[in-house]
Amino acid sequence: MGEDRRLAAVVALAQGMAAAHTPRESWRAAALGACRALAGSFAALSVWERELGRLRVLVNVGDRTQGEEEFPAEETYPVHQFPEITEFLHERWAAGGEPDAWVETAEGPSAGDPGYCHQRVAALRRRGRGCCVVAPIVLHGRAWGELYVARPAGVPVFGRGDADFATVLASVVAAGLAQT
């Protein structure tokens, strides 16, 4: 993807979030903007509820499969099912860096290096998705949640450049959330 197209996608995402009047509209704009920017078929925005030890999905957009609601009331995943979240973020912050996005495929991990997460891989296969990119969202210096964008099986898999771009998009989303 050309730099001009990526810049336009970042601007569109930021403008979509800025135009939102409610948190739900903001979440939806963030997920839709990221989905379009990364040429995905599906995207989700989730928040980490530390005190409950879970990842709660706020919005699902794009090609949803059975059971995936746009604004799910109770779609949550225990954080212990996704050890890469805590381990990966801890390693990044301990090293003095910001967390980067990573790619997983229906065959296992790809670009980035958080480690194999069989729950995500199983979910990709179950939903007919070939790959996903996961970007941590950092708000006020703390892990707030994640941006998740997927592509269907049979299309090109996300690469390292896509993961790097997803990191930028997550920063834009964080800025938009801070304004909401």
For position 112, what pLDDT does the model report? 46
Give the range among 22-26, 95-99, 113-117 with minimum mean pLDDT. Answer: 113-117
For position 92, what pLDDT does the model report? 54
For position 7, what pLDDT does the model report? 93
For 56, the domain range is 3-179
pLDDT per residue as tens digits for the range 117-138: 667 777 888 888 999 999 989 8
**Whether the predicted pLDDT of 44 surpasses 90:** yes
Q: Report the chain's mean pLDDT, rounded to a whole number.
A: 85
For position 114, what pLDDT does the model report? 47
**In terms of Cα–Cα distance, which of 81, 31, 30, 76 is closest to 57?**
76
pLDDT greater at residue 122 or residue 164? 164
pLDDT greater at residue 53 or residue 173? 173
For residue 81, what pLDDT band results from cuts at 50, 70 and 90? low
Strand partners, 132: 104, 150
Which positions ≥6 away from 70 have C-beta within 8 Å?
Answer: 28, 59, 60, 61, 64
Full-model pTM: 0.86
CATH number at residue 76: 3.30.450.40
For position 67, what pLDDT does the model report? 86
Residues 86-103 as b/e (b if ≥16 CB within 10 A, e otherwise) read: eebbeebeeeeeebbbbb
**Whether the predicted pLDDT of 111 surpasses 80:** no
For position 120, what pLDDT does the model report? 72
Residue 75: exposure state from Cβ atoms within 10 A (0-12, 13-18, ≥19): middle
- Structural domain count of the chain: 1
Yes or no: say if 178 and 139 are a contact pair by the CB < 8 Å rule.
yes
